[in-house]
């Protein structure tokens, strides 16, 4: 789980405020990742009423997905597991936090969890335009256009490649049911399948000899999704492979496309599916190979997804009035990394007060070495030697005896200045784990998200940071 794991037991006592949701430039916003209470989710789903079930696998499945609405009127998806799937509540919470730190425009965000008695629930942002399975297998108005099918293949490959790079290469039951369409019609990978240790009873099409999911078996499953995109229906992999190997892909193609596809492109996709479905796992392509093969096929990249999907354009709610930004908020909104650096230098460690209480017995040589590493990091940070600052701060973090939100915020900025926005986002989220109501952690997330071209999420995070900062200032001023 990366850096959050080493300080998890510290973080558990400093969980984010539940269901914090604040206005933003895009209307209602999602809360930061948090632990929800069971009553929160019962209220959101009308006590898990059957009419709120949106999972296409049916109510008798070992887990079910419900549509719900939070108090801030934002729609969510709630997945309800059995305790058999997650007997260990601590493991469930740890894995949820790990998946919750993943932020990518190709993945539906996990925004929280609930672990109350025997209840195991995950909470994600709701995707309003159904699943790939619904559009491919149960369509009523029109089938998915060829260009959209190619886009789905690429976006999901990009999501899998990002997850692999972030240390989450496994995905449970990758299929057309786990591909969702957001309000703009963009394909997204469901975050629920990223909970690696789930024993939810959902069968994989292909696992290793011990019945375990492997990165190679995820690629195998991606191959079956490619078959779905080509054919518009469920075809047994062996039957499809016979047609592909016989160079006879036309019978494989979805008849509803009515010939509106490129045979050359279809051949590339079918060949890629064949590679993914190789019997020997080592002969299958990597996620990076998947992306590299699919990128050149995107010849309608400028056409919005809602047009290709045939849905109405999503209209953003009119922006709500925002209070004036602070100097930190203004610097983050302008992406002025130099100004952010000056503010963090001036703030020093003022906001770390109370996050660590050391006894005399804990004052060891190791502790002194760790604090020396932080001091060297501070000097490098002040002198704008950002690569050296990363190294020194990493020495401090890796020991794990102390946690410092300021160190994570400073290292986050160093990563941004070294053009490593993914690492910057991880550190900013870690700062939030340590200090859930710290506006600086949210400000740094907004900058990292903007660097990752996730501008809507960046605007939401900037708004939440500003509101937290204003709330803190009101508390300092008193009534």
Q: Would you please indicate which residues are annotated as catalytic (active-site) residues?
A: 173
Please state, as a whole number, how many other Cβ atoms lie within 10 Å of the Cβ of residue 4: 18
Cα–Cα distances in angstroms (integers) from residue 19 to residues 72, 75, 111, 235, 470, in the given order: 9, 12, 9, 43, 18
Q: Please give the span between the terminal C-alpha atoms of the chain, in angstroms, as a whole number.
A: 42
What DSSP letter does each residue of 103-165 carry, written as one string?
Answer: --TTBPPEEEEEEETTEEEEEEE--TT-BHHHHHHS-SS-PPPHHHHHHHHHHHHHHHHHHHH
Asked if 414 and 405 count as a contact pair (C-beta separation under 8 A), the reply is: no
Positive or negative: CA dihedral 396, 401, 403, 404: negative
The count of C-alpha atoms lying within 13 angstroms of the C-alpha of 46, restricted to the half-sphere facing its C-beta, is 8
Cα–Cα distances in angstroms (integers) from residue 106 to residues 205, 249, 358, in the given order: 23, 29, 42
Beta bridge partners of 116: 119
Residues 6 or more apart from 156 whose CB is under 8 A from it? 106, 179, 187, 189, 222, 225
Read off the tokens for 236.
Answer: 């047994």
DSSP secondary-structure letter at 169? -
Cα–Cα distances in angstroms (integers) from residue 314 to residues 129, 164, 401, in the given order: 11, 31, 48
Phi, psi for residue 113 in degrees, rounded to 5: -150, 170
Asked if 295 and 303 count as a contact pair (C-beta separation under 8 A), the reply is: no
Cα radius of gyration (the chain): 24
């Amino acid at each position: 789980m990366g850096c959050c794991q080493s300080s998890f037991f510290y973080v558990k006592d400093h969980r984010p405020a539940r269901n914090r949701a604040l206005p933003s430039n895009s209307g209602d916003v999602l809360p930061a990742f948090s632990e929800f209470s069971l009553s929160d989710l019962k209220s959101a789903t009308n006590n898990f009423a059957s009419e709120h079930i949106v999972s296409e696998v049916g109510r008798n499945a070992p887990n079910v997905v419900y549509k719900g609405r939070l108090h801030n009127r934002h729609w969510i998806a709630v997945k309800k597991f059995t305790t058999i799937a997650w007997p260990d509540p601590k493991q469930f919470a740890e894995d949820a936090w790990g998946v919750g730190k993943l932020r990518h425009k190709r993945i539906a965000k996990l925004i929280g969890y609930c672990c109350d008695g025997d209840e195991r629930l995950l909470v994600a942002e709701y995707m309003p335009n159904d699943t790939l399975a619904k559009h491919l297998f149960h369509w009523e108005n029109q089938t998915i256009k060829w260009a959209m099918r190619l886009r789905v293949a690429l976006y999901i490959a990009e999501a899998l490649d990002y997850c692999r790079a972030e240390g989450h290469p496994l995905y449970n039951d990758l299929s057309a049911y786990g591909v969702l369409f957001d309000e703009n019609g963009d394909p997204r990978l469901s975050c629920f399948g990223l909970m690696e240790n789930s024993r939810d009873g959902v069968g994989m099409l292909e696992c290793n000899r011990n019945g375990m999911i492997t990165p190679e078996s995820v690629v195998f499953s991606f191959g079956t999704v490619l078959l779905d995109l080509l054919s518009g229906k469920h075809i047994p992999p062996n039957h499809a492979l016979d047609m592909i190997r016989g160079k006879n892909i036309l019978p494989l193609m979805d008849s509803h496309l009515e010939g509106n596809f490129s045979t050359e492109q279809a051949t590339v996709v079918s060949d890629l599916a064949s590679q993914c479905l190789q019997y020997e796992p080592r002969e299958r392509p990597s996620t990076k190979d998947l992306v590299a093969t699919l990128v050149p096929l995107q010849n309608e990249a400028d056409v919005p997804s809602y047009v290709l999907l045939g849905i109405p354009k999503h209209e953003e709610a009119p922006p709500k009035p925002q209070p004036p930004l602070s100097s930190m908020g203004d610097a983050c909104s302008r992406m002025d990394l130099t100004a952010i650096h000056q503010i963090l230098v001036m703030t020093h460690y003022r906001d770390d007060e109370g996050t660590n209480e050391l006894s005399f017995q804990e004052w060891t040589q190791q502790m002194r070495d760790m604090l020396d590493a932080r001091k060297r990091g501070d000097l490098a940070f002040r002198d704008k030697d950002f690569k050296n600052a990363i190294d020194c701060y990493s020495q401090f973090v890796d020991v794990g005896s102390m946690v410092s939100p300021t160190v994570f915020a400073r290292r986050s900025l160093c990563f941004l200045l070294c053009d490593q926005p993914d690492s910057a986002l991880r550190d900013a989220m870690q700062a939030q784990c340590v200090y859930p109501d710290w506006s600086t952690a949210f400000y740094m997330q907004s900058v990292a998200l903007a660097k990752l071209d996730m501008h809507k999420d960046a605007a939401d995070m900037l708004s939440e940071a500003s509101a937290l900062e204003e709330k803190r200032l009101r508390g300092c001023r008193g009534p």
